[in-house]
A and B are shown apart, each in its own frame.
Chain A
Amino acid sequence: MRWMLRGRRDPGDGGELDARLSETWEAAAAAVAKMLDLPSGNEALLASSRLQPEGAADLRAPTGMTGRVGRRRRLVLRVAAGAVVGLAAVAVALAAAGLPGARPGGTGRSATDAAYVVKRIDTALSAAGPSEIAQMRVTTRGAVIPGGSAATTTGEEWSYSDQWRSLVNSPTGRLVYDEGVSTSSVFTVVSYQTRTWAHQREQKQSGGRVVGRRGCEPAFAFAPVPPVPGLPGPGFAVSSPHSSVAKALRAAVSCGSLAVAGRQRVDGIEAIKLTNAQGSQISMTIWVSPDTYLPMRVYSRPAADQQGFWQTADITWLPPTAQNLAKLTVPVPAGFRQVPLTQLVHPALIPIGPKSK
């Protein structure tokens, strides 16, 4: 840049300051362009070609821009109508472009920031849903039976499109259940405690159900809960309407109750932290990667006066390579005995109603 080459140079910086300033300025300008969602030059040109031919009667904002145009658009259009149509396109583009988030007085900034971040997360999850495997390590603490003693268990889950697999460990870390749904919608569950297994074709749920009422509960139900001591059957994962993790997370972040709560280091990355509003039945915190906007960690706990589980899910997003896809398959160890599903899974834990074999 021009300014680097003139003026007195400070001793000791050796040009590093110039480099850092220049890099930061360019990165910040790009970030501003991205967050304000400005139209590209092509959009402005497109607008120009649509608006140029006739007079004021043809002054229309390009498709997709009209929803964001307010007072400024009307003012600019008035100028254009009275003066020159040739610049109307630019005027409309200007009017449409600078306004997202621009509010007199600058009030409600955090809400807009949250909306922006949530939008980016939603877009990232929407893209990741069909293209990446969500791998999660889940730690759960809570009492499965109300009033019972709380236990901490760990589990692993993989979710990819309609496929999923879940491993549930006992509090001592031993594998208890391995379960999942294959590409052909066959649900398989293996009990390592009883050395039995069962499988059954899962009822298809159109469009993939979203976890929770109106999809507005946290991405809580995707994770397994501790196996019930003394009760046969795996944890909650079997009974949950198991939409993909990406869909569940999308539903959770799209409910409008999340607010940006700064940055926090997660696995060496300064993740963006979002928390939901106080007063919710379940308190949820999501940390998302600043690079991909995909969730890295989800923490949920019941509200102070509620019973439930404390869960932390650390999420890694994997490409669907053959090696990674193999993680979605539930292997049945040799020597395990096949039994009806109802024998393996406690009836109380199969409300989704897979047909008995």
Chain B
Amino acid sequence: MLLGDGARSSVAGEMLERVNPAEIGAFYEREMPRLVLFVTVSTGLDIHTAADVAQGAFEKALPRWPTLRNPRAWLYRVAQNEALARHAAVRREVLVDVVPDRPDQPSAALSAELRAEQREVLACLRNLPPKQRQVMTWTLAGFGDAEIAAALGLSTDAVKQSRYYARRNLVKRLGLAGRNSQ
């Protein structure tokens, strides 16, 4: 993952010299918490593991930053793949007699920071079926249909359809149906 020999280092060095560290610092400050949230909501990983995954994604992105056409999308995609891999690994490793944490239970510390209605929204998001949840979290992270489709390996129509069902489920679960109807 990281550079180990001099030749590769010098190539990476030339690439990195073209990048403004302050710009990346600002990007990190803005995106890191959102990426952690994205990972924990979309995959159900706990907040600390999600932070580890997000951190790893940033570390992977750093050496190749200048070559990335859409670093943000790349970062989210890498984080998602890593999170899913970890999730699968955890599921494989968990012994049957161990009572796992409820997958829909966000960290108590995160919950402590949110109001009741915000916790409810977060819980509803986490309880959506996997594909709907992924599409919604990518949407909430600010990505377009084409980007989501590319990241999830779906068609744009499938993305739209999943989002439609996700929104319908959320409206129902949050008791918003029929309120303020236009």
Chain A interface bracket (under 10, 10 to 19, 20 to 34, 35 or more)? 35 or more
B113 at interface, CB cutoff 8 A: yes
On whether A17 and B140 interact (CB within 8 A), knowing A32-B47, A44-B22, A117-B112, the answer reads no
Chain B binder among A108-116, A181-189, A214-222: A108-116
Contact (A41, B25) CB under 8 Å given A32-B47, A87-B16: yes
Q: Interface size class for chain B?
A: 35 or more
Quick check: A8 and B47 within 8 Å, CB to CB? no
Do A8 and B160 touch (CB < 8 A)? yes
Determine the distance from Cα of A33 to Cα of B49 in the docked complex, in whole angstroms. Answer: 15
- Assembled-state Cα–Cα distance A13/B125 (Å): 16
Task: Pick from B22, B29, B37, B107: contact of A109, CB below 8 A.
Answer: B107
B78 to A: closest C-beta gap in Å: 14
CB neighbours (8 Å) of B182 from chain A are 14
Cβ 8 A contact of B181, one of A11, A21, A44, A270: A11
Are the C-beta atoms of B45 and A35 separated by less than 8 Å? Answer: no
Q: Are A101 and B51 closer than 8 Å at their CB atoms? A: yes
Per DSSP, chain B at the interface is helix
Closest CB-CB distance, A19 to chain B, in whole Å?
10
Task: Decide if B48 touches A109 in the complex (CB within 8 Å).
Answer: yes
Q: Binding site of A, secondary structure by majority: helix, strand, loop or mixed?
A: helix
In the complex, the answer to whether A75 meets B118 with C-beta atoms within 8 Å is no
Given A12-B177, A94-B59, do A112 and B48 touch, yes or no (CB 8 Å)? yes
Bound: A30/B118 CA distance, A: 12
**Alpha-carbon separation in the docked complex, A71 to B118 (Å):** 35
- Shortest Cβ distance from residue B90 to the other chain A in the assembled complex, whole angstroms: 7
| Chain A, residue nearest B117 (CB) | A20
Bound Cα distance A190, B18 (Å): 77
Q: Please measure, in the bound complex, the distance between the C-alpha atom of A272 and the C-alpha atom of B114, giving whole angstroms.
A: 11
For the complex, is B178 an interface residue (Cβ under 8 Å from A)? yes
Pull 29 A–B residue pairs with CB atoms less than 8 Å apart, ordered by A: A1-B140, A3-B139, A12-B177, A12-B178, A14-B176, A21-B121, A35-B107, A36-B32, A36-B36, A38-B32, A52-B21, A79-B9, A79-B63, A82-B12, A87-B62, A87-B65, A90-B21, A90-B28, A90-B62, A94-B28, A94-B59, A98-B52, A99-B51, A100-B51, A101-B47, A102-B51, A103-B52, A106-B49, A272-B112
Interface set of B (CB-CB < 8 Å, partner A): 2-3, 6, 9-10, 12-13, 16-17, 19, 21-22, 24-26, 28-29, 32-34, 36-37, 40-41, 45-49, 51-52, 54-55, 58-59, 62-63, 65, 90, 101, 107-118, 121-122, 125, 136, 139-140, 142, 144-145, 160, 163-164, 167-168, 170-171, 174, 176-182
